[in-house]
Copies of this chain bind each other. A is one copy, B any other.
Amino acid sequence: MNTLGRLLRLTTFGESHGPAMGGILDGLPSGIRIDMADVQHMIDRRRTGRSTLTSQRRETDIPEILSGVNADGITLGTPIGFIFRNTDARSSDYCELEHRYRPGHADYTYDMKYGLRDPRGGGRASARETVNWVMGGALTMQWLRTLGITIEARLTAVGKAGYPSPLAAIMSDPLHGALPFDEATEQAMLGEVERARRDCDSVGGRVSCVMRGLPAGLGDPVFGKLQARLAEAMMSLNAVKGFEYGMGAAAAEARGSEAIDLFAPGFSPAPMRTDRHGGALGGISTGMPVCFNLWFKPTPTISRPLPMPDREGEMLEVTAHGRHDPCVAMRAPVIVEALAALVAGDLLRF
């Protein structure tokens, strides 16, 4: 199924080298003013071709909104249909691969599931699909900001470089803590990407995200927990191999006395003094920041000859060309923000 969400629902379509990508965002409340410059800004953050470190494919990525917003830019409460034309699809890059299964890609599994696939640019499995998600998330963000909700995601590690424990500052000082930033570490991360590119290789990374301003009470208590919805959404990103929130993996090594958050007297200025729980208890938001980390695998497309089977399992050494990022995590933060916005918006509608 190609739908995310229950009450605020994004349904998408599009093959990477087909005529267009697009989707329908259904369930956004009426009366929200859409600032298209804002929306475009979010889409542009995702766009490829902005540096030598990301894919060289150049799409203008200007959405056409087909419904759901009136002439004054106000949402009608009806579904918002949108499309992005695919204009820079060079399918010839992929001819050689048409009958080959690339390691680490979805070629093989699509064939197993459907019996055929669109080999051009990964078809439906391409990261180009995420332009739809950013569009859906950007529209949703227009609503969330009227509620005082903010969402920020950042690249916090690439390969061996990066920040230790990027959520630590938020966990210990939920009101003022921020994701870490220092120039040296940022340069080190860029260095990792550049080295991978030069080695005709790719490299993984970590993205961290903080959501602020969510009211207490969001999420369902048994199935449909806030963290379950978030994890489900984030694991939709092809390259994501894991998700942790709050203390995350570190909690497995901790004692209970180190892992709980004490309440603040009078629940003020926030319900709890610390945020090791990461914003949800029993699956329901506490009103504290929701913070989480995602780990991305390196893009499986590397510019080296690799043995690739055809449908019969006959092997051939092939070098994939195409235009790919050496580090998919680099472009991911805005996509993570978009998915987080969609999840938050969906929970707010219940």
- Which of B11, B238, B262 is in CB contact (< 8 Å) with A11? B11
- Which of B108, B109, B221, B248 is in CB contact (< 8 Å) with A242? B248
Report the minimal beta-carbon distance from A308 to chain B, rounded to whole angstroms: 7
From A86, which residue of chain B is reached at the shortest CB distance? B66
A271 and B302 within 8 A (CB):
no
Report the minimal beta-carbon distance from A339 to chain B, rounded to whole angstroms: 10
Report the minimal beta-carbon distance from A34 to chain B, rounded to whole angstroms: 14
Report the minimal beta-carbon distance from A173 to chain B, rounded to whole angstroms: 18
A309 within 8 A of B: yes
A256 and B2 within 8 A (CB):
no
A309 and B106 within 8 A (CB):
no
A81 within 8 A of B: yes
Q: How far is the CA of A66 from the CA of B14 in the complex (A)?
A: 7
Which of chain A's residues 197-238 have a Cβ closer than 8 Å to chain B?
199, 201-206, 216-217, 220-225, 227-236, 238
- Which of B7, B12, B308 is in CB contact (< 8 Å) with A263? B308
A27 within 8 A of B: yes
Tell me which residues across on chain B come within 8 A of A223, comparing CB atoms: 1-4, 233, 236
- Which of B13, B220, B246, B309 is in CB contact (< 8 Å) with A2? B220
Of the candidate stretches A47-55, A175-183, A290-298, the one touching chain B is: A290-298
B251 and A285 within 8 A (CB):
no
From A230, which residue of chain B is reached at the shortest CB distance? B235
B1 and A224 within 8 A (CB):
yes
Q: How many copies does the complex hold?
A: 4
A304 and B257 within 8 A (CB):
yes
Q: How far is the CA of A21 from the CA of B262 in the complex (A)?
A: 31
B238 and A282 within 8 A (CB):
yes
Tell me which residues across on chain B come within 8 A of A246, comparing CB atoms: 241
Tell me which residues across on chain B come within 8 A of A334, comparing CB atoms: none
A121 within 8 A of B: no
Report the minimal beta-carbon distance from A290 to chain B, rounded to whole angstroms: 13
A244 and B242 within 8 A (CB):
yes
B13 and A1 within 8 A (CB):
no
Instruction: Provide the A249-273 mask, 1 if CB < 8 A to any CB of B, else 0.
Output: 1111111111111111111100110
Tell me which residues across on chain B come within 8 A of A282, comparing CB atoms: 105-106, 109-110, 125, 238
Known: A70-B116, A202-B255, A315-B265. A220 touches B1 (CB 8 A): yes
Known: A20-B66, A113-B284, A263-B103. A245 touches B241 (CB 8 A): yes
**Could you list 12 A-B pairs, sorted by A, with CB under 8 Å?**
A1-B27, A11-B11, A12-B79, A14-B66, A21-B67, A67-B124, A77-B114, A104-B261, A113-B217, A236-B283, A262-B307, A267-B309
A-B pairs with lowest CB-CB distance, top 9: A106-B282, A242-B244, A13-B81, A202-B256, A109-B284, A256-B298, A232-B232, A251-B297, A266-B313
Instruction: Name A's B-contacting residues (CB within 8 A).
Output: 1-4, 7, 9, 11-15, 18-24, 26-27, 30-31, 64-68, 70, 74, 76-81, 83, 101, 103-106, 108-110, 112-118, 123-125, 129, 157, 159-160, 196, 199, 201-206, 216-217, 220-225, 227-236, 238, 240-268, 271-272, 277-278, 280-287, 295-302, 304, 306-309, 312-315, 326, 329, 350
